Structure 1
Amino acid sequence: MSKLASSAFLTDRKIVFLLATFCCFLWGSSYPAIKGGYALFSIAPHDIPSKLVFAGWRFVLAGLALLAYAGISGKLKGGVPGRVLARFALLGLSQTTLQYAIFYVGLAYATGTKSSIMNATGTFFSVLLAHYIYHNDRLTYPKIVGCLVGFLGVMVVNLGSGAGGLLAWDFTLLGEGFVVLAAFILAAASIYGKRVSQGVDPFVMTGYQLVFGGSALLAIGYALGGKIDNFTVASASLLAYLVLLSALSISIWSLLLKYNRVSTITAFNFLVPVFGVALSAVFLNEPIFKLSNGIALVLVSLGIWLVTKAPRNS
């Protein structure tokens, strides 16, 4: 497929919708999958080094799989210049190592349901950052209102139902705080990834950045005494699913970002909390019908609809 044909295909609204929705489904499923992996590999909630090892193997294996595909398909023919590898390494250390180290810690201290909703803040961070970086992706009134409504939804999901009642604030720095911080880092790294991807194949870029980022996670995790064991058919299968999830979702998302506006693509992230909440309820038996969850999902979805309602040429 020629570059012109690829551009036309990947900017078609129906194709963008299908591919972006598929990525969001995969990312939504990662919340119960990761928490399930902690249980299957017997990783305790406070065992952060082992969580980093778990994440490291997931990303290294996903990156190696993508590089193998790139090699077989001829995408690696001629090699990769050193300066480009340096950019891949920077992307991997930010988008994979730093972002996921913080995200994995946050997920250990927050429910999969709340984490999936709060991670949608990355959409609004992307919209705000794109305004200052791309001249054709400026903030508009609907985008500003949408960001405010979306952040309101994030606040609502942190309303508890314990001793303090519905208006009790249920937020911790290591839990919900780290999930939001990870979302900001991912938004910033994704914009940098869009810039890097303009001159390279997104599958090659994703493969290298996952290997670089995952290797750093492994080095840090093992240095701190982390480990994963208790390999069974179930635990190995779950790890294999997470590897496939990472390879597919990040590669497809990078392709979409390469040929479309940041705000257009990241707006689809509203589907992540929808899938995340539903799948966390199914696989983790987490409560899905809490009033705060329902209100938050509506507000987050409304916020992102407002962000994307403006015409593409605005």
Structure 2
Amino acid sequence: MEETKLQKSNISIFQRPVFVSLFALLAAIAWGWAYPLIKLGYNEFGITTDMTGSKLLFAGIRFSLSGAIILLVAKAAGRDFHFKKSGSWWYILLFCLANTTLHYAFFYFGLSHSAGSRAAILNSLSVFSVVIMACLFFKSDKMTINKLIGCVVGFAGILSLNLGTVESGRFTWLGDGMIILNALCGAVASLMTRGLGQRIDVFVGTGLSLAIGGLLLVIPGILIGGILPQITYAGSLYLFLLICISTLGFTLYNKLLTCNPVGKVAIYNSLIPIIGAVTSCLCLKEPFYWKYAVAGMLAATGIYIINRQKG
């Protein structure tokens, strides 16, 4: 009995069921709110759909500052900044590109050409892509009937976004196409997170990925003429909230992925498309079409089916 109690006391807070649920839920809610906040930020800073450099600059400022905050906190907490394996820089750089630079370059482009509620649901493609890619690249991940059914249901939800009239939204390369590429980058980054903790402290690795990845957005953004045409108190507030979302979301989620089976954490991602769609409609006054509800429920159901029997 005493030994059992001792074992439980030695379990990390990031492995205790109550806190796993709490932290994963917080990350999902935070990321869901990012959709309307980015579009509100565009309006306040005067960034229009044709201002490519300004989009990169806006995204880069957000992530580089978020990464800097995480690194400062990690330094103050005495985290180990040394690599656990030699030659890990290449992996960190690839992770920066997948997790931040390419991921959010596509995301910010796509979101400026798509309704926030539609983009939120479409981005759930990332979860289903992770399942398929994991089965292809990791021997420990086998395709099961649950995974197969879940992916079919989820993809059906994503395809249902293109039902209905033209006014309710149809596929566009600049909008939906960019969000799909963003989702695929997110899926690759999720798989790479498995190796991140093997090479460097996960908090430090998260900070580096955001800081370096953010700078790789800022620099080309400035070089192609990116500016923030106007700066308002509201715009600064939206940017601050987006920085907080990145800092909180990535730190919690990456740490949870290194301590728990992916299924225990990923199940909460089913809330992101629903939260993103609802908050976009409420904050941006976007029309809510019936197919958004159908697509959101199918995407959430697909993710639940995939994860319901995982440890």
Structure-1-length-normalised TM-score: 0.91
Q: Confirm or deny that 1:224 pairs with 2:228.
A: no
Aligned partner of residue 129 in structure 2, secondary structure: helix
Question: Which residue number corresponds to residue 91 of structure 2?
Answer: 87
Aligned partner of residue 162 in structure 2, secondary structure: coil
Shift of 1:82: 7.3
Alignment CA distance shift 1:115-1:250 (3 Å): same
Which letter does structure 2 place at the counterpart of 1:293?
A: Y
Select which of 54, 57, 67 maps to 2:58: 54
Q: Do the aligned partners of 1:92 and 1:213 also contact (CA within 8 Å) in 2?
A: yes
Shift of 1:80: 8.5
Q: Confirm or deny that 1:153 pairs with 2:157.
A: yes
Shift of 1:157: 1.7
Count the aligned residue pairs: 305
Kindly report which structure 2 residues correspond to 1:1-314, keeping only aligned pairs within 5 A, or say none: 8-76=12-80, 83-162=87-166, 170-288=170-288, 290-312=289-311
1:241-295 alpha-carbon deviations (Å, 9 max, x no partner) = 111111110111100110122344223211001110111111101123x211111
Q: Do the aligned partners of 1:130 and 1:262 also contact (CA within 8 Å) in 2?
A: no
1:9-33 alpha-carbon deviations (Å, 9 max, x no partner) = 3233332222111111111000000
Runs of 5+ consecutive residues of structure 1 not aligned to the other structure: none
Which letter does structure 1 place at the counterpart of 2:293?
A: G
Aligned partner of residue 157 in structure 1, secondary structure: helix
| In structure 1, C-alpha distance between the alignment counterparts of 2:65 and 2:203, rounded to whole Å | 14
What percent of counterpart residues are identical? 33
Shift of 1:116: 0.3
| In structure 2, C-alpha distance between the alignment counterparts of 1:24 and 1:7, rounded to whole Å | 24
Shift of 1:206: 0.8
| In structure 2, C-alpha distance between the alignment counterparts of 1:117 and 1:38, rounded to whole Å | 20
1:225-251 alpha-carbon deviations (Å, 9 max, x no partner) = 111142222111111111111111011
| In structure 2, C-alpha distance between the alignment counterparts of 1:41 and 1:207, rounded to whole Å | 26
| In structure 1, C-alpha distance between the alignment counterparts of 2:250 and 2:277, rounded to whole Å | 21
Shift of 1:309: 1.8
Which letter does structure 2 place at the counterpart of 1:223?
A: L
Q: Do the aligned partners of 1:126 and 1:262 also contact (CA within 8 Å) in 2?
A: no
Comparing 221-230 with 108-117, greater Cα deviation is found at: 221-230
| In structure 2, C-alpha distance between the alignment counterparts of 1:39 and 1:5, rounded to whole Å | 49
Which letter does structure 1 place at the counterpart of 2:290?
A: L
Shift of 1:8: 4.4
Alignment CA distance shift 1:171-1:6 (3 Å): farther
| In structure 2, C-alpha distance between the alignment counterparts of 1:79 and 1:299, rounded to whole Å | 42
| In structure 2, C-alpha distance between the alignment counterparts of 1:294 and 1:59, rounded to whole Å | 31
Shift of 1:39: 0.3
Shift of 1:209: 0.9
Which letter does structure 1 place at the counterpart of 2:174?
A: L
